[in-house]
Amino acid sequence: MGRTQRICFRHPERITHRRCYYCHRAICSACQIRKARHIFCSQTCYWKYLAKKAVKSISADRPKWEVVSPVWIAIGVLSVVVFFQWLQLQKIRPASPPFSGRQPMRKSQEDTENTRNIFQITSPVRIRGMVVRNRITIEGEADENLAILLLHGDRLLAVTRPSGGKFVFEDVPINRGQNCLTVKAMSPDGEVIALEELTFRYNLPAFSHLVRPFYRGSLRKKVLALTFDGGSENNVSAEILDILRQAGIRCTFFLTGKFVERYPQTVRQIVEEGHEVGNHTYSHPHLTEYAASGRQVTKTGVDREFVQSQLKKMEEVFRELTGRDVVRLWRPPFGEHNREIRSWAAELGYRTVGWTVESQNGENFDTRDWVADPESENYLSAEEIRDMILKAADAVPNGLNGAIILMHLGSHRSSDFPHRKLPEIIEKLRKRGYRFVTVSELINDY
């Protein structure tokens, strides 16, 4: 039995079997717009479809009383508003081909500036070059009466509402090759605002790229990364996380599997507050003979199976606790590694991350906050650590550009805690024009 024949609502002389996915009106081949794997009769119906889908995706996870808010009532009438706007445009538009309305409306400079005041992307500011992770996080600021949509091409990936004037799309999946992500906002009066389009390529990093250790980012930009290792102790992590939260900074934490098992609440807090977590092995073993001989020779009993099992076991306990994967960055315990060990990690997709050491001027940004004995030649007081960092920031020509600073979540000190100087360090570095980023951001922008 054949399909029912219908007459196109725009072209009465044409017979068709197709209907608009949203309004169900019959449309011929000349009237069809293919988007999001469906067929629509106009951009208006396409945006109505997205609006309806957006509301459903949020309401599925929210109580009914929360969904039926003034914002979502406004979005619910979006289709009516947009439809009448479209009718008005048809009245004033001169005769033209059926689908000249596909072209985006151009905004004046004044309109664009007004839009930016209520809706802007704060991270990533710009994606350059090749992305080497298959997920990114997009953050921004927007008025709380807007609905924020994220699209990959024509496909709606996610929708959210701003909270406290900020919104975030975490762990956005991207495809190998060319990607085009668009962030849009829907205002209560039915206007759809396209703010930012992120176009970039994602490819799996080459093996040679992963084997090369990473100690410092670009010397051309005033950005740096605070990193924190979590091995076995956890007595200062609460204060550190409070400081970072108050400063609005996201950092990279390298955690062992045993740390994850012992301190699950701390790990959950690290993840929930937007920090990234790298691999610090499961049990923090020595991997080379460096401690005994000063040489980075692979230690007896350490082989491919041992190194990879340490990394995999940490992955497993972290995923079991958080439901997420660690970023493909690892920091060898005690800074012990060589090309052989790095290659075993690279086989699992990991890149080795150390901390910044400059041989020319003797700078070593291991803060040595782990040294507890004031009589030790390696001991640095909290004030000395602060002064070392601030002095390096003013050094010519590169300062702290691209630097990776190492601190720890545990301390055996009874007083003189270096992390308590972080608020002062952060404030003074920001006044010098520095910006704090994660290690992944340093690598992607290198």
- pLDDT average, residue stretch 316-337: 95
- pLDDT average, residue stretch 427-444: 94
355 pLDDT higher than 90 = yes
In order of 106, 125, 143, 190, the CA distances from 109 in angstroms are: 10, 20, 20, 21
Q: Is 280 helix (H, G, I), strand (E, B) or coil?
A: coil
Q: What pLDDT score was predicted for residue 299?
A: 95
Confidence of residue 363 (pLDDT cuts 50, 70, 90): confident
- What would the DSSP string read from start to end of 127-188? --SEE-SSEEEEEEEE-TT-EEEEEETTEEEEEE--BTTEEEEEEEE--SEEEEEEEEEE-T
Q: What pLDDT score was predicted for residue 369?
A: 93
In order of 72, 162, 375, the CA distances from 144 in angstroms are: 11, 5, 55
Contact 129, 198 (CB under 8 A): no
* Element of type H or E holding 218: none
Q: Which fold has domain 207-444?
A: TIM Barrel (3.20.20)
79 pLDDT higher than 60 = no
Kindly report which listed range (53-62, 105-114, 331-340) carries the lowest average pLDDT score. 105-114
Look at residues 304, 243, 307 and name the one whose alpha carbon lies nearest to residue 275. Answer: 243
Q: Do β-strands 363-364 and 357-358 pair in parallel, antiparallel, or remain unpaired? A: antiparallel
Mean pLDDT of the chain: 81
Encoded tokens for 234? 């956890």
Encoded tokens for 76? 């619910």
443 pLDDT higher than 50 = yes
Q: Do β-strands 119-123 and 135-142 pair in parallel, antiparallel, or remain unpaired? A: antiparallel
Look at residues 258, 199, 250 and name the one whose alpha carbon lies nearest to residue 226. Answer: 250
Looking at 3.40.640.10, 3.40.50.2020, 2.60.40.10, 3.40.50.280, the CATH number of the domain 121-202 comes to 2.60.40.10
In order of 76, 134, 146, 271, 432, the CA distances from 426 in angstroms are: 44, 30, 32, 21, 10
7 pLDDT higher than 90 = no
Q: Is 241 helix (H, G, I), strand (E, B) or coil?
A: helix
Q: What pLDDT score was predicted for residue 88?
A: 46
Percent of the chain with pLDDT over 90: 47
334 pLDDT higher than 80 = yes
Q: What pLDDT score was predicted for residue 364?
A: 87
| Sequence ranges of the domains in the chain | 6-97, 121-202, 207-444
Contact 248, 436 (CB under 8 A): no
pTM over 0.85: no
- pLDDT average, residue stretch 287-303: 95
